[in-house]
Structure 1
Amino acid sequence: MLKEISLGIGLAAVIFLAVSGYDVIPIIFMGLAAGALFFITRSRGMIGKTFSAAPPARATKVEFSDIGGQATAINELKEALDFIKNHDQIIKMGIRPIKGILLTGPPGTGKTLMAKAAAGYTESVFIACSGSEFIELYAGVGAQRVRQLFQTARDSAIKQKKDSAIIFIDEIDILGSKRGQNASHHEYDQTLNQLLVEMDGLKVNDRVRVLVMAATNRVDMLDPALLRPGRFDRQVKVDLADKAGRLEILKLHCRNKPLAADVDLEEIAKQTFGFSGAHLESLANEGAILAMREGCTEISNRHLLEAIDKVMMGEKLDRRPARKELERVAVHEVGHALLSEKVRPGSVSMLTIMPRGQALGYMRQVPENDTYLHTRGYLENQIQVLLAGSIAEEVVLGDRSTGAGNDFEQAVKTAGQIIRSGMSELGVVDPDILPADLRYRVISGIIKTQEQKVKEFLLKMKDAIGQIVHVLLVEEKITGEYFRTITKKFLLVQQGHTDQ
């Protein structure tokens, strides 16, 4: 309040002098200079407080047993951390200490948790910060903050009578991006240079042994000098968990939640391919919220299945499409489901026309076992499933709609993957030098071929589409089992069997 009053009085005085005929330009210049000097002094004065505001050296309760689905990464990290624990043996063997460990991987996979667990495993002081905390407009501020960070780590360890400290820098790509990319000023480069100098100064016989841990999901942006041996000696990949890992993570996040007897966490893990640890935590939490809304004392399997949809697609929407539009949505989703069931029997998990997030309807598949290599046949089947919604509209309603825009984008991307993998008629090619018109013709050819196959199949399944759409308009949501019960006789006929 006092600052505002002083500023108002000063401004009024300048205006009065200007009206009275005085030259106020020197006064304004001196005021701006004094303000800039005050701001710079204040910014530098805050440096010492940046990393000591939060309790920096408080013992963490996170252990490696609290982190699921990352057994390989944890074992690799423990091997590096043993250099801190077995200090005497390292000196005898003449081993240079590991100075830095870089955790890389997608967001939400548990990199920060692993850093906290590392501090507990080595009984070290733990100080966490973000790369953005070092970047300032004024030259020298970031470098001074780096020096203060290392000094705070050492002082905190001595204060707590510990001989080791772990500094964790999250989103280090902000601080450690490749030098020379910011031509306007060199503050970014100076800050990174100071970090390199501090890491070079770490020695095995220091009173406080400091280990720098950092995390990023953009390792390609980091400066090569930061990644060389002697700086970040280890890179630990913290990737998305496989099915067994997802089951382990779900068990961890559900251990404090009352689960009903019908809950099948293994089935939930199977249906959450591509989920990170953060997604799975949100799934368990959303399942508990849904159960509480309904007044249930336990979380049932249907709550968790509903939570999968919410995490993937968002909350249900209140808006309700008109009957004619709802029918088109139903036809579209049934088309997807029929092709999905054709190319992979038993793959449809749920079918709904209830709006959720940006989608008016949704067909959820049961994910396959985690696979990372795909054949051309597999990719062509995926294109068929993507095209089926729009083609079903054309077969049943006579025309298509704008609702398939995202489906088409994914289909083109999948066709492009066929070209990049050398599985198209072009053979092995470099996509970067491939003429745009040739690429367009090949992708169009792939998609048109699959489009024709889908249309031929759906024309034969037109009666099935009508029957399922009628049920879906009444029920709004049907399970994969019910869907297969309705379509079984139609699919048997297509396969050349007769219904006895």
Structure 2
Amino acid sequence: MRKYVPEILIGAIPVVLAFLLFLGQNVVPVLMFAVLGFVVFYASRGRGKLTALSSQQRRPSKKENPFTFEQIGGQEKAKQELVEALDFLVRQEQIAKLGIRPLKGILLAGPPGTGKTLLAKAAAHYTDSIYLAASGSEFVEMYVGVGAGRIRDLFKEARSKAQKEKKSSAVIFIDEIEVIGGKRDGGQQREYDQTLNQLLTEMDGIYANEAPRILLIAATNRKEMLDSALLRPGRFDRHIQVDLPDKKGRLHILNIHASNKPIADTVDLERIAAESFGFSGAQLESVMNEAAIYALREEHEKIDEKHLSMAIDKVMMGEKTDREASKEERERVALHELGHAIMAEIIRPGSVSQVALSPRGKALGYVRHNPLQDQYLYTKAFLNGQIMIALGGAAAEEMFYGERSTGSRGDFDQAMDIVKTLVESGLTELGIIDASMMTKEAWASITRTILDELMGQTKETLEAKREVFTLSLQTLIREETLSGEEFRQLLKENAAA
């Protein structure tokens, strides 16, 4: 009977209003009170966009496909730590004998696309738990109390669903936890402060002997922004770093996403894994998908290595465009890219993989480099070399035109990022300093000093290769794309000439 109350009220209200009009009464105040009562009723019930979400009726309930840790590649260390933490839920009798307190929360921190959400889904499957997912942005509204109400509803829904499906535990996953868990400044109360306080209260209310047990897993890209009250033991007990995969991890991920695709026998996925240095799991999945699309366009039955190489270029720089440059502009772009390529071959012989004039994304041309061995520590000489390679394009333009163009903007951004790394690592004349204490003027001064010095060295180095530019220019314009081997052969022929 209760579920028909709204329909009964909707039918009764017009009858009452018509009766009042018949009696000659003013119905405007009645309408205003009815609207106000409607809003208050829905606010108290937690319905509507302005109020807390009534999770049991509004949150979509769909059957999640089982997802296991074996389906996640490149995160062996993170999986090992997570499984160890989850065993506290699975092996309850053993941990009770040792007096171990089950974990209440697990924080997954790392760059976007590294598989944090997948790890949470696999955790729910591993523990045979109910899985509920939400984003931090769902809990913040301009109306006070909305977020706190949604937090209460989320935990209430987890418990009720676990009881309904006769599960002993439930996993709640909150993505972008920094939205509601940011550091509090001690100022006036704000809506998301109340939301955070409610989350802390709910986590404190998780007990080891309760049934069903609740495990909160949260993910963030910016752990440093989180409030210390959220990070302390007893709330988020375990912090797991989910980093970008290394070469072995990238190969594992590529093999996973290649399992349902027809890959040609000549494809060397290990080489593709090496070329995709710095790619996240999401980007590697996109590489395999884009390669399949390229194969479809060319009506090939299998994915070739060239399709994978084109897919890497697309994920890194975007799709090819149909912009047509003038002859003068093409020559400038060709000289610019030759500057990068020649400088790269001088500093690290054999490093150029491809030189191209075809527009892709925002770039009118590009140089793709052969992958280095995965490296996490860099010397001053290595970083200076990277800066000189980045400045090679602008230096070549100055050599032949006497001025630079806007095409060097991205190169300069890259060079300045490397300068920042040098300063923060204590590899400059400033020595070991706290970079956060430097003024804008100090940053400008040290950046200008380093870049001016390295630009001078770059120009001097490339000036000795002026004839190579002249002899290679027309070949690059005519061919538009040169492989690394073709480019190095061209350099040898020009050197001999």
Among candidates 449, 454, 457, match of residue 453 of structure 2: 449
- Alpha-carbon shift at residue 452 of structure 1 (Å): 2.0
Q: Partner amino acid for 1:143?
A: A
- Do the aligned partners of 2:46 and 2:149 also contact (CA within 8 Å) in 1? no
Among candidates 38, 43, 58, match of residue 40 of structure 1: 43
Among candidates 270, 291, 294, match of residue 298 of structure 2: 294
Q: Does 1:380 align with 2:384?
A: yes
Change (3 A) 1:28 1:379: farther
Give the aligned partner of residue 398 of structure 2.
Answer: 394
Among candidates 295, 301, 326, match of residue 322 of structure 1: 326
- Identity level (%): 50
Separation in 2, partners of 1:426, 1:281 = 43
Give the aligned partner of residue 16 of structure 1.
Answer: none
- Alpha-carbon shift at residue 56 of structure 1 (Å): 4.8
Matching of residues 165-314 of structure 1 within 5 Å: 165-180=170-185, 183=188, 185-314=189-318
- Do the aligned partners of 2:130 and 2:161 also contact (CA within 8 Å) in 1? yes
Separation in 2, partners of 1:322, 1:24 = 74
Q: Does 1:464 align with 2:482?
A: no
Change (3 A) 1:194 1:41: closer
Separation in 1, partners of 2:356, 2:402 = 22
Change (3 A) 1:264 1:135: same
- Alpha-carbon shift at residue 303 of structure 1 (Å): 0.5
Structural RMSD (CA): 2.6
**Deviation string for 1:100-153 (max 9, x for gaps)?**
001110110000000000111111111111112222333333222222211211
Give the aligned partner of residue 76 of structure 2.
Answer: 71
Give the aligned partner of residue 3 of structure 2.
Answer: none
Give the aligned partner of residue 150 of structure 2.
Answer: 145
Question: Secondary structure of the residue that 2:74 maps to in structure 1?
Answer: coil
**Deviation string for 1:304-361 (max 9, x for gaps)?**
1001111111111111111110110011001000101111111111111111111111
Separation in 2, partners of 1:269, 1:299 = 16
Question: Secondary structure of the residue that 2:371 maps to in structure 1?
Answer: coil
Q: Does 1:121 align with 2:109?
A: no
- Alpha-carbon shift at residue 44 of structure 1 (Å): 3.8
- Alpha-carbon shift at residue 161 of structure 1 (Å): 1.5
Q: Partner amino acid for 2:286?
A: S
Q: Does 1:80 align with 2:85?
A: yes
Separation in 2, partners of 1:357, 1:171 = 29
Separation in 1, partners of 2:175, 2:443 = 41
Structure 1 range deviating more: 137-146 or 257-266: 137-146
- Do the aligned partners of 1:59 and 1:125 also contact (CA within 8 Å) in 2? no
Give the aligned partner of residue 136 of structure 1.
Answer: 141
Structure 1 range deviating more: 65-74 or 33-42: 33-42
**Deviation string for 1:345-400 (max 9, x for gaps)?**
11111111111111111111122111111111111111111111011122233432
**Deviation string for 1:140-187 (max 9, x for gaps)?**
33222222211211111121121111111111111222234774x532
Give the aligned partner of residue 107 of structure 2.
Answer: 102
Change (3 A) 1:52 1:121: farther
Q: Does 1:424 align with 2:439?
A: no
Gaps of 5+ in 2: 1-9, 15-25
- Alpha-carbon shift at residue 38 of structure 1 (Å): 6.1
Q: Does 1:410 align with 2:404?
A: no
Give the aligned partner of residue 19 of structure 1.
Answer: none
**Deviation string for 1:243-287 (max 9, x for gaps)?**
111111111111111011221111111111111000000111000
- Do the aligned partners of 1:291 and 1:303 also contact (CA within 8 Å) in 2? yes
- Alpha-carbon shift at residue 445 of structure 1 (Å): 2.7
Structure 1 range deviating more: 329-338 or 446-455: 446-455
Question: Secondary structure of the residue that 1:205 maps to in structure 2?
Answer: coil
Structure 1 range deviating more: 53-62 or 345-354: 53-62
- Alpha-carbon shift at residue 484 of structure 1 (Å): 0.8
Matching of residues 322-341 of structure 1 within 5 Å: 322-341=326-345
- Alpha-carbon shift at residue 65 of structure 1 (Å): 0.5
Q: Partner amino acid for 1:454?
A: T
Among candidates 326, 345, 352, match of residue 348 of structure 1: 352
- Alpha-carbon shift at residue 424 of structure 1 (Å): 1.8
Q: Partner amino acid for 1:227?
A: L
Q: Does 1:162 align with 2:167?
A: yes
Change (3 A) 1:57 1:426: same
Structure 1 range deviating more: 443-452 or 313-322: 443-452
- Using structure 2 for the length normalisation, give the TM-score: 0.89
Q: Partner amino acid for 1:128?
A: A
- Do the aligned partners of 2:391 and 2:455 also contact (CA within 8 Å) in 1? yes
Separation in 2, partners of 1:96, 1:257 = 45
Separation in 1, partners of 2:260, 2:286 = 14
Separation in 1, partners of 2:326, 2:338 = 18
Give the aligned partner of residue 369 of structure 2.
Answer: 365
Give the aligned partner of residue 477 of structure 2.
Answer: 473
Question: Secondary structure of the residue that 1:233 maps to in structure 2?
Answer: strand
Gaps of 5+ in 1: 1-5, 11-22, 494-498
- Do the aligned partners of 1:99 and 1:230 also contact (CA within 8 Å) in 2? yes
- Alpha-carbon shift at residue 62 of structure 1 (Å): 0.8
Q: Partner amino acid for 1:40?
A: A
- Using structure 1 for the length normalisation, give the TM-score: 0.88
Separation in 1, partners of 2:196, 2:381 = 48
- Do the aligned partners of 2:46 and 2:54 also contact (CA within 8 Å) in 1? no
- Alpha-carbon shift at residue 34 of structure 1 (Å): 5.5
**Deviation string for 1:69-127 (max 9, x for gaps)?**
00000000000000001011122222211110011101100000000001111111111
- How many residue pairs get aligned? The number is 472
